[in-house]
């Protein structure tokens, strides 16, 4: 049982306090006014363990890469080289915020060191970010992209699939890149509701995700697939026009509704009969740099299933694959130039009180400190109604929503 120590008012999280730590995960859950930071690792496993009530004994924090689908769905394919396919750690210390008030949870015998870390967290302020002129290049040129899109559209016309999420990657290299100050700038500049900062050895993820994969509260499950994007307008009038345009765009709505249908099916595999329900459909949510079309599906977990069963049944998330899901994943594996890795996976936590939150790893810079390599992947959903050139522009819009915050070019 962990000891609980209130840290008081702590509105600002300074990532620099984590420089000496080799493993950590910071996650934000904006709609709950909740933030969680797990530091260090006491033990590691490839999945969390749950009791008969569907709760973890202690905090479990970690990730699934997109390529975890190979073991979940028994599909052939290459694993990515950036992160293990599934890794979950019990942290040495946990700091949890509700609003601006923070509490530290320390293991027995480690209270003094935990409190010292908590005081360091309180006294550290974010450094000013000075962007280096990093230039990013796309690993897939526009001509190749349009050829791949045309191939996907042929599959759609034949009825093999109805929707598929096709992704491309931008790359850069900068051994002097500072992920700690960059994440502070990215988090402040995007105000992303499901952001994350993750380190595993020399690998970092700076995540400005606007999308939840799954949320848990006891037996209650919430999924929020997101499909449909517009930029923010230059003035209130233009902004309102873009909201109206997104809300009523037939192509964007069809993408979203298809993702909802897939997620409803996925949740039904682990839900108590009759409990899967669409709570909201195609709702526009506004963020500092983009508008997004989001739906919400809820269910109650069946008594003979635990939260990991729910995760396995729904992963990879519908918004990053397509419909039908299995065939879409097969075509994605054939078409994309590299494994997705942590991109399109999830970062999240399971808490001992029965709550959990898992995001969708999008709008995310991945950094390898050992090589100086950076990557940023983006994608869009392709349907029979799509316009290929506009899909290329949507990928660019999503990339720029991250890179512009950091003063990067690409």
| Angle at the Cα of 223 from the Cα atoms of 239 and 37, rounded to 5 degrees | 90
User: In this structure, are residues 183 and 206 in contact, taking their beta carbons and an 8 Å threshold?
Assistant: yes
How far apart, in whole angstroms, are the C-alpha atoms of residue 92 and residue 11? 22
Contacts of 215 (CB under 8 A, 6+ apart): 29, 221, 222, 223, 224, 355, 356, 357, 358
User: In this structure, are residues 366 and 342 in contact, taking their beta carbons and an 8 Å threshold?
Assistant: yes
- Return the axis-axis angle of helices 142-158 and 388-403, rounded to nearest 10°: 130
The DSSP-derived string for 120-183 is HHHH--PPPP-----B-EESS-HHHHHHHHHHHHHHHHHTS-SEEEEEEEEEEE-TT--HHHHH
The backbone region for 62, taken as left when phi is positive above 0, alpha when psi lies in -120 to 50, beta otherwise, is left
Longest dimension (CA), the chain: 64
Residue-wise burial string across 239-259, b where 16 or more C-beta atoms lie within 10 A, e elsewhere: beebbeebbebebbbbbbbbb
State both tokens at 203.
């690998």
Determine which one of 227, 252, 325, 391 is catalytic: 227
Q: In the annotation, is 251 catalytic?
A: no
| Angle at the Cα of 86 from the Cα atoms of 82 and 90, rounded to 5 degrees | 110
Contacts of 226 (CB under 8 A, 6+ apart): 210, 211, 256, 292, 293, 294, 295, 319, 360
Contacts of 397 (CB under 8 A, 6+ apart): 229, 231, 290
How far apart, in whole angstroms, are the C-alpha atoms of residue 245 and residue 242? 5
Q: In the annotation, is 391 catalytic?
A: no
Determine which one of 211, 224, 252, 300 is catalytic: 211
In this structure, the number of other CB atoms found within 10 A of the CB of residue 410 comes to 17
Question: Is residue 343 classed exposed, middle or buried when 0-12, 13-18 and 19+ CB atoms within 10 A define those classes?
Answer: buried
Q: Show which residues are catalytic.
A: 211, 227
């Amino acid at each position: 049982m962990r000891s609980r120590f209130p840290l008081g008012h702590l509105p600002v999280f300074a990532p620099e306090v984590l420089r000496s730590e080799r493993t950590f995960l910071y996650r934000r859950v904006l709609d709950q006014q909740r933030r969680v930071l797990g530091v260090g690792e006491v033990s590691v496993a490839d999945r969390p363990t749950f009791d008969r009530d569907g709760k973890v004994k202690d905090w479990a924090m970690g990730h699934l890469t997109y390529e975890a689908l190979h073991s979940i769905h028994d599909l052939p394919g290459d694993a990515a080289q950036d992160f293990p396919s599934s890794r979950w750690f019990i942290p040495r210390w946990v700091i949890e915020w509700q609003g601006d008030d923070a509490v530290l949870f320390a293991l027995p015998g480690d209270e003094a060191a935990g409190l010292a870390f908590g005081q360091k967290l309180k006294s550290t302020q974010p450094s000013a970010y000075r962007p280096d002129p990093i230039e990013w290049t796309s690993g897939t040129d526009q001509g190749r992209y349009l050829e791949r899109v045309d191939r996907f559209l042929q599959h759609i016309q034949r009825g093999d699939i109805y929707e598929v999420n096709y992704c491309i990657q931008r790359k850069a290299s900068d051994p002097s890149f500072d992920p700690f100050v960059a994440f502070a700038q990215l988090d402040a500049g995007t105000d992303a509701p499901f952001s994350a900062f993750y380190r595993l050895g020399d690998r970092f993820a700076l995540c400005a995700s606007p999308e939840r994969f799954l949320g848990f509260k006891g037996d209650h499950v919430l999924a929020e697939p997101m499909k449909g994007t517009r930029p923010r307008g230059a003035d209130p009038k233009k902004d309102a026009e873009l909201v109206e345009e997104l809300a009523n765009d037939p192509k964007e709505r069809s993408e979203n509704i298809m993702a909802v249908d897939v997620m409803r099916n996925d949740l039904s595999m682990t839900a108590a009969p009759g409990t899967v329900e669409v709570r909201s459909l195609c709702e526009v949510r506004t963020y500092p740099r983009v508008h997004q079309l989001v739906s919400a599906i809820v269910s109650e977990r069946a008594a003979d299933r635990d939260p990991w069963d729910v995760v396995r049944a729904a992963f990879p998330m519908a918004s990053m694959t397509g419909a039908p899901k299995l065939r879409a994943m097969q075509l994605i594996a054939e078409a994309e130039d590299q494994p997705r890795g942590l991109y399109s996976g999830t970062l999240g936590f399971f808490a001992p009180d029965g709550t959990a939150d898992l995001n969708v790893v999008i709008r995310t810079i991945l950094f390898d400190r050992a090589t100086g390599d950076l990557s940023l992947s983006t994608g869009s959903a392709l349907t029979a109604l799509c316009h290929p050139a506009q899909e290329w522009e949507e990928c660019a819009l999503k990339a720029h929503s991250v890179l512009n915050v950091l003063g990067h070019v690409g």
